Amino acid sequence: MANALRVLLAGWVSSPHVLAWAEAVEEAGNDVYVAGRAPPEWPPPRANVKVYTLPFEGPLVLRSLKLSRALADVAAEVKPDLVHAHWLPEYGWMAAREGIRPLVCSAWGSDVLRVRGIGRQRSKRALDAAALVFVDSIHLARATSELADRDVPIEIVRWGLDFQRFAPGDQTTAREALRLEQEGPLVVSVRGFMPVYNPELQLEAFARVRTLWPEARLLLKHPAAGVPRSISASIERLGLENAVTILANVPPERMPDIYRAADVVLSVPSSDSSPRSVWEAFACARPVIVSDLPWARDELTDGRHALLVPLDADAIATAIGRVLSDRALGGRLGVEARALTVDELDPQACSARIDKLYRSVVEA
C-alpha cells in the first residue's frame, strides 16, 4: 500500500462539499487537514479530520490578505505533500499568492462561469499557479480552459456518494422524520435563496401548480437561518403562506429524508455545473426537474434521467404537473437517475481516482 499523503484542503470549513471531499480523500488512506473560514450563517464543521478555522475580521480591504497569510501559516505547520484549494478567487488565489506548492485547485462553477472584475483576475491567477485543476462537468472544463492564460491540465472529477445513505426509502417515514404533513404532493427545492437559484421563479411556478393541485405543498431548504424579505413578500403576494415550508441549517444526515419526502425535486438555477444536490436526489430515486443548462445537456437525457426545462414559470409548472399526474413517469425517472448515479459516483472508484491524480502531482 502506498504511503499516506498529507493533504491540506483549503476551503470553507463548514461547507458540506469541502467536508465530503475530505472524507473521500481520507477514504483513500491519506491524512487530511482542512483550513479556511467558517461563515457564521452556516452550521459548525462536522468532520473527523483536523480543522483549522482561519480568522476573518478587521477592515474589509485587509481581510483577504490576513486570511491568505493565515493559510500560509497553517501550510507551514502542516507541511502538506500538496494543497487542494476549493473556489478559485478565494482559496485558489490565496494559495497562489503565498506560493504554496504543489497546488491543486477545484473550480466550483460560478468562480468560472459567473466571475467578474477582481474575482476573475484572482481566478486566473489561481489557474496559472495550479499543477492540476479539478472540475465536475464537461461544460465547466471547457469554460475553465477558456479562462486560463495557459494550457492548464484539467480533469473532470467528482467525489462519490454513500449509496446506503442516499438511497430510495419510504416517503411516509421520511415525512414523519421531518415532521411534515403526510397528505398531498410535495415539491422540494434544496438550493437556497441566492438569486442564481431563482427562488422567486420557483414560487411563481408553484403558485401555478396550486391552481390544479390545491393540496400541493412546497418545501424550501437553505443553509442560512434567516429568510430574505423578498422571499417572504413573494410568498405573501402569491397567497402561499399555508403551502410553503422553509427548513434552515438542515444537518447533513437529514438530507436523504428531504429527498425521500418529495414527489418531485426542483433544481432550476441560472448557472450551474453538475450540482451535488441533483445527484443526491438521483441517488434517492426521486424525479428531478433541472434547468436546461449546458452541463445537463452534456450529461443527462431529457425525459429519461430528468426533465430539462427553460427558466420560465409556466414551463416549470408544466413539468411539475407532468410528474404529479403521471406516477409511472416519476418512477421511471427515479430508476434511471439512480442507475446513472451508481455508475458515475461509486465512492471507492472516485476516492481511488482522486488519490491517483494527487500522487501524479506529488511525484511530478
3-class SS letters over 257-271: HHHHHCCEEEECCCC
Distances (CA, A) of 191 to 46, 202, 308: 20, 11, 17
**Whole-number pLDDT of residue 215:** 96
Please give the mean pLDDT across all residues of the chain: 94
**Whole-number pLDDT of residue 56:** 82
**Whole-number pLDDT of residue 1:** 52
**Whole-number pLDDT of residue 246:** 95
Q: Where are the domains of the chain?
A: 6-160+346-363, 171-344
CATH number of the structural domain 6-160+346-363: 3.40.50.2000
Q: Which three cell numbers stand for residue 53?
A: 478555522
**Whole-number pLDDT of residue 57:** 80
User: 294 Cβ partners below 8 Å, 6+ apart?
Assistant: 139
**Whole-number pLDDT of residue 256:** 97
Sheet containing 244-248: order of strands: 244-248, 217-222, 186-189, 264-267, 288-291, 307-309
More confidently predicted of 334 and 16: 334
> Is 3.40.50.300 the CATH number for 171-344?
no
Q: pLDDT by residue (tens digit) across 130-165?
A: 999 999 999 999 999 999 989 999 999 988 999 999
Q: What is the Cα–Cα distance from 48 to 248, expressed in whole angstroms?
A: 24
- Fold match, 6-160+346-363 / 171-344: yes
Cα angle value 43/134/267 (rounded, 5°): 55
Q: pLDDT by residue (tens digit) across 226-274?
A: 789 999 999 999 999 999 999 987 888 899 999 999 999 999 999 999 9
Q: What is the Cα–Cα distance from 37 to 23, expressed in whole angstroms?
A: 19
Q: pLDDT by residue (tens digit) across 52-63?
A: 999 888 776 788
Q: What is the pTM of this model?
A: 0.92
For the stretch 104-119, what's the b/e string if a residue is b when 16 or more beta carbons lie within 10 angstroms of its beta carbon?
bbbbbbbbbbebeeeb
Residues in the chain: 364
Q: What is the Cα–Cα distance from 79 to 76, expressed in whole angstroms?
A: 5
Q: Which three cell numbers stand for residue 145?
A: 480552459
